[in-house]
Amino acid sequence: MASFFSTSAARNMFYGGTLFSVLLFLGVTLHTESVLPQRDQRAQIATNPAIAAGKRIWEENNCIGCHTLLGEGAYFAPELGNVYKRRGPEFIKAWIQSQPTGAPGRRQMPQFHLSEQQLDDLVEFLRYVSEIDTAGWPPNIEG
Amino acid sequence: MKYASQAVAKPYFVAALALFVAQILFGLVMGLQYVVGDFLFPHIPFNVARMVHTNALIVWLLMGFMGAAYYLVPEEAERELHSPRLALVTFWVFLVAAGLTVIGYLSVPYATLAKLTGNELLPTMGREFLEQPTITKIGIVLVALSLLYNLSLTYLHGRKTAITSVLLFGLWGLALMFLFAFVNPINVVRDKFYWWWVVHLWVEGVWELVLGAILAFVLVKITGVDREVIDKWLYVIVTLTLVSGLIGTGHHYYWIGLPEYWQWLGSLFSALEPLPFFAMVLFAFNMVNRRRRDHPNRAATLWALGTSVMAFLGAGVWGFLHTLAPVNYYTHGTQLTASHGHMAFYGAYVMVVLTILSYAWPQLHGRTAQGNRSQVLEMWGFWLMTVSMVFITLFLTAAGLLQVWLQRMGDTPLPFMAAQEKIAFFYWLREGTGVVFLIGLLTYLASFFIGVKGSPAYGGAARS
């Protein structure tokens, strides 16, 4: 690089550029936080304790290790962000209870031994997620 | 090796390679489970294999970064490490914590592990890549603090170079962003928003600073090019990284409940994310072309050039492929994401750790370079692993395109599992290529034992 561009100029560009980007990112974050209540269904969380309980069951059984939730997670098993709309509450519960299928050569889901209460909480959590405004994603009901 | 305390890098490098082997073995298990669904079920369900595969990767790359930092900071600062003893104690704490966590994953159901480790006190488990029990996460914070204390004091009391400044900036950022692993609101949208502050701001932010610093250090050493030139390149690269990558976080914010303006911000800024990687290619090839000496460690030179090219392809090109919001609408959460993830991690981070390891390992053993036979084996390992990673990426890309077409674009979209069955052919090809990768890894490891003490093919002649 030419001599008019000194090392200290390059260093200042780095620290200046970084500071600018950090501030811009934090600024947009603040705005995002301020408009989120209109999109993220937080009123439901406050009034329905089953959602929090369901999220804990979702996490403590590592569901994300095979499935995606709003497109994030593992790509081994179906998207569950919209499974409530695709399958409905009773199917979800029956499906979880009947695992593993044991069909030879097929992908297997473990048996998690969830109680009726836990199944209901998990379904409530999945219903809540299915109602988040995701800008029209996924493209169709198959996820 | 100029300073005795640089030797603390050795156990970090050895542990990194051991975990690398574990990562690949579990990757092969998962790859097979994609087509033989009940393989090893119920002993190792897919989610368990995946946790070991991804967590082993993260830990071994961190081990590699730490080894690199303990090796290069004293040399750059021109003084001994502040406390070599602390660095060794930290190593064992990190290794035991990682080992116990993996044993936990493999020996009990995840829900039991959550219960045993008191997840309900401070729930952080069960999120992708952050599956570690909360106690392990606290351990990681302590390890990072110890590392930063040790390196920062060494830095402050010694010569400060652009390389160590950028490296420490990156490592401090790494530790700081990890604190968001403890942020886990019930609100799924906010949970995901801040989860990316760990995941994206690591791999598309501060880790790239660590990558740039390590690459610059090795290029200084093997090319003998004037430091002033290398420093400027490094600052330009890391500026491009953070200016594109920070707001570029927005490319993860399109479909998870956040405002639509992230589609514009994310698309615009992340479209610039290939630039720092392109600059890295120019940087590495320019420096090697302008070299003042022919360093006898040809393998290290190959890794340095290779990491720049593969990082550009994997992180830059394959990232750009699906980063624009209208494209990502169809590709989000498919095998296309997996294809990008594999080549980006390999090209940017696996290869840069192997670059510093290749350069530092002989130095740590009192040699300028490994013997010729060892280097030939190492370069065979390089090509086998790199070419198979290219094909793994291509097969996953084919799988991803078909998945998008069958499940999301056709007139009669198929259910997830029906689409998976139709693309099984590409999963088989990926698994076969994975076996070639393992052979490459074993060849690479053999280079540490065979012909190391012979003379290199050519000595370190100076060039005019």
The predicted model gives A5-18 an average pLDDT of 96
The answer to whether A70 contacts B228, with C-beta atoms less than 8 Å apart, is no
Q: Give the closest residue to A56 by CA, choosing from B50, B118, B126.
A: B126
Q: Which residue of A has its CA nearest to B108?
A: A61
Q: Does A37 lie at the interface with B, CB-CB under 8 angstroms?
A: no
How high is the pLDDT of residue B246?
A: 98
Identify whether the C-beta of residue A31 lies closer than 8 Å to the C-beta of residue B247.
Answer: no
- Record: contact B131-A76, CB cut-off 8 A: no
Using a CB-CB cut-off of 8 Å, the residues of chain B touching A75 are 333-335, 337-338
Q: What is the pLDDT of residue B462?
A: 66
Specify whether the CB–CB gap between B392 and B437 falls below 8 A. Answer: yes
Radius of gyration over alpha carbons of chain B, in Å? 22
In 3D space, the residue among B68, B57, B59, B54 whose CA is nearest the CA of residue B6 turns out to be: B68
Distance CA B356, CA B138 (A): 28
CB contact (8 A) between residue B186 and residue A51 = yes
Render pLDDT for A55-85 as a digit per residue (tens, 0 to 9): 999 999 999 999 999 999 999 999 999 999 9
Q: In chain B, which residue's Cα lies nearest the Cα of A51?
A: B186
CB-based contacts of B93, cutoff 8 Å, min separation 6:
B139, B142, B143, B146
Of B235, B260, B262, the CB nearest to A13: B235
User: Domain locations in chain B?
Assistant: 1-160
> What is the pTM for the complete model shown?
0.97
Which residues, other chains included, contact B385 with Cβ-Cβ below 8 Å and sequence gap of 6+? B346, B437, B440, B441, B444
Say whether B236 and A10 touch across the interface (CB within 8 A): yes
pLDDT tens for chain B, residues 1 to 464: 899 999 999 999 999 999 999 999 999 999 999 999 999 999 999 999 999 999 999 999 999 999 999 999 999 999 999 999 999 999 999 999 999 999 999 999 999 999 999 999 999 999 999 999 999 999 999 999 999 999 999 999 999 999 999 999 999 999 999 999 999 999 999 999 999 999 999 999 999 999 999 999 999 999 999 999 999 999 999 999 999 999 999 999 999 999 999 999 999 999 999 999 999 999 999 999 999 999 999 999 999 999 999 999 999 999 999 999 999 999 999 999 999 999 999 999 999 999 999 999 999 999 999 999 999 999 999 999 999 999 999 999 999 999 999 999 988 999 999 999 999 999 999 999 999 999 999 999 999 999 999 888 766 566 65
Nearest CB neighbour to B42, from listed A100, A105, A140: A100
Min Cα separation A119/chain B (Å): 15
Sign of CA dihedral B87, B89, B90, B96: positive
Across the interface, of B37, B119, B415, the residue whose CB is closest to A107 is: B37
- ipTM entry: 0.97
